[in-house]
Structure 1
Amino acid sequence: MTADPPGFPARRRRARRLPRRAASALAERWTSVDGVDVFYRESPARPDAATMMHVHGFGLSGRYLLPTAERLRDEFHTLVPDLPGFGRSGRPTDPLDVPDLAHAAARFLDDRDITSATLVGNSMGCPVICEFAHRYPGRVDRAVLVSPAGGAYNQPFRRAVRQLALDGTREPVGLMRVAAPDYLRFGVPSTVRMFRALTRYPSLDRLLALRIPTLVVIGDRDPLMPSPARVAEVAGSTDNHVLVVIIEGAAHAINFSNPGELAHVIRQFMADQPIVDDPDEPGRSRAYEIHRGALHPPRDFSAGA
């Protein structure tokens, strides 16, 4: 087990209060990770179920990930933590950067006695997953990176702010009711520090270096991402295990806005099946592959063809 990062003990402890009303069918619980109170949601663990942990984005808690996580709860042992410093969880003494958050995610799994898991992230959660896989390569079974922002396309800070503002006009109205309390709790100083940490992190290099089956899902209306053609070009720049899927009509917070389509794509990816559109979501959007890495199973294999 690696040493804890400097400043990891909690600066202060929040009262361990559960929400007055449950936000989903997942159980809501508290634990303590390296002295920090961590709030999380969890599905019942079947003995034969693989573990899937959902990792939230910039300034947010895991609550906005619940629409997708809830759809997968019967098939996977599902965990949705608020990482230290975010949401209801306590704040470490010093702010955490991307490697620190990856370490915190690993320590959370240690606390749950879980040796490995599939990690599903959105936005900032994607660099955290890439760092997790870099530091703990034997502990990530598969990676699902949804709207993996945080690279050069989101710099400088004022450009990222404009992109976020535009994205806000493309997301469901209900997202703001979920996200606003999280952003207010996170605060402006933490936002600026976290953005700087993300700009220093080599997200693209880490993603292309992954040696596990990796699904990248992007929306064609996401202002925080380059064009789908550019994403496919970058993903194809080297031999890799990356599979890239577009969800038409989706913006940045796909886990919240398009949970049925995303859960359907994740199921197919987990089963090594070709990605086809969800017949149960007619007329809403369309999901399809735009890149299949050379090291990923070919599309014409027998399973699910």
Structure 2
Amino acid sequence: MSSPVRFEVEAAGHLGHVFASRRTPGTAAGPAVVLVHGIGASHRYLERLHGLLAKSVDTYSIDLPGFGATPRPEHTLSVAEHATYILGALEQLGVLEFVVVGHSMGTQFAVEAARQQPKRIPHVVLMGPVVNDQRRTVAQQALALARDCLFFESPSSNALVFTDYLRCGPSWYLKNLRLMMNYHLEERIGGVAADVLVLRGEHDPVAPTDWCHRLASRAATARFVEIAGTGHVVQHNRAVEVAGSILAFAQGLPAGRETPREFTA
């Protein structure tokens, strides 16, 4: 599989990057999958998952405006504006229907996109969703993230996340952190018509099991999958299992709890 092609796409007045892996027409095994990063991050920690999904389906990873190597907008975009960018960018690339997969704060963008244009998004995958409704302070979230990095992440996942945080910069990160903390995913998910998959790593302190179950219970139709032996950045450390769960979900098949592990750091 060749490397994804990067497209610089302006949508809704903002500039971002879309990394596309398109299969030969007629050879894809299911609907296109769109991967959306979380706060401070970029497509880089989604690359392993992207590569595995691209073996079966058209796959797109997005660097939202102001993240990765994209230019910073003049103002901090709201969750709704990020969702509008995602929908507009994919429409420009001819992707009119897709499975949206968000990680961490990306789950907020995914839910908002599904609410804005439900006919385009039949399936939503929420990996390590935030913000836990019983730990709504910045201090609690910071402590959970610190525990995750110290005890449950691989050196490679930590390196990807922290170098992207450096590129993001503290000012832009904090501005987006306020948005993340003020978005109540547990309330917004009730307005999603799509089927929902809530997915977490077994040891993820940012998205604990009870929070994920509460979130799934508020969706119209949802299932829950837990991937053994990893933390918050589950899509990097257990890319094989996550890809299998996403493809099974999108195709309406049972999703197993665990498959053979690859990509260990």
Q: TM-score, structure 1 length as denominator?
A: 0.78
Pairs within 5 Å for 1:173-252: 173-226=155-208, 228-236=209-217, 240-252=220-232
Aligned alpha-carbon RMSD (Å): 2.1
| Residue in 1 that maps onto 2:6 | 28
| Residue in 2 that maps onto 1:145 | 126
**Counterpart-to-counterpart distance in 2, 1:279 and 1:155:** 33
Residue from 253, 259, 268 that aligns with 2:233:
253
Structure 1 residue 269 and structure 2 residue 240: aligned?
A: no
Q: Size of the alignment, in residue pairs?
A: 258
Instruction: Deviation per CA, 1:177-201: give whole Å up to 9, x if none.
Output: 2222211121112222211112221
The letter of the residue matching 2:246 is I
Instruction: Deviation per CA, 1:194-217: give whole Å up to 9, x if none.
Output: 111122212112223322111110
For structure 1, the 5+ residue unaligned runs are: 1-23, 285-305
CA contact (8 A) 1:26 1:43 kept: yes
Bigger fraction of residues in helix: 2
CA contact (8 A) 2:196 2:219 kept: no
Instruction: Deviation per CA, 1:107-149: give whole Å up to 9, x if none.
Output: 1112212222110110011011111111111121211111111
CA contact (8 A) 2:8 2:17 kept: yes
**Counterpart-to-counterpart distance in 1, 2:9 and 2:89:** 9
**Counterpart-to-counterpart distance in 2, 1:240 and 1:173:** 38
Q: CA deviation at 1:78?
A: 0.6
Instruction: Deviation per CA, 1:221-269: give whole Å up to 9, x if none.
Output: 111123x245325533x57211011112121011111101111111211
Instruction: Deviation per CA, 1:57-108: give whole Å up to 9, x if none.
Output: 1110111011111101021111111000111111111111211111111111
Residue from 104, 109, 112 that aligns with 2:85:
104
Q: Who wins on radius of gyration, i.e. which is larger?
A: 1
| Residue in 2 that maps onto 1:77 | 58
Q: Percent of pairs identical after alignment?
A: 26
Residue from 37, 55, 59 that aligns with 2:36:
55
CA contact (8 A) 2:228 2:257 kept: no
**Counterpart-to-counterpart distance in 1, 2:117 and 2:74:** 24
| Residue in 1 that maps onto 2:260 | 280
Return 238-247 or 65-74, whichever deviates more.
238-247
Structure 1 residue 43 and structure 2 residue 24: aligned?
A: no
Return 98-107 or 26-35, whichever deviates more.
26-35
CA contact (8 A) 1:163 1:224 kept: yes
Return 269-278 or 143-152, whichever deviates more.
269-278
Q: CA deviation at 1:279?
A: 4.5
The letter of the residue matching 1:206 is R
Q: 1:230 to 1:77 in 2, by over 3 A?
A: closer
| Residue in 2 that maps onto 1:294 | none
Q: 1:33 to 1:273 in 2, by over 3 A?
A: same
Aligned with 1:216: secondary structure? strand
CA contact (8 A) 1:265 1:275 kept: yes
**Counterpart-to-counterpart distance in 2, 1:153 and 1:47:** 46
Q: TM-score, structure 2 length as denominator?
A: 0.89
Aligned with 2:8: secondary structure? strand
**Counterpart-to-counterpart distance in 2, 1:232 and 1:36:** 35
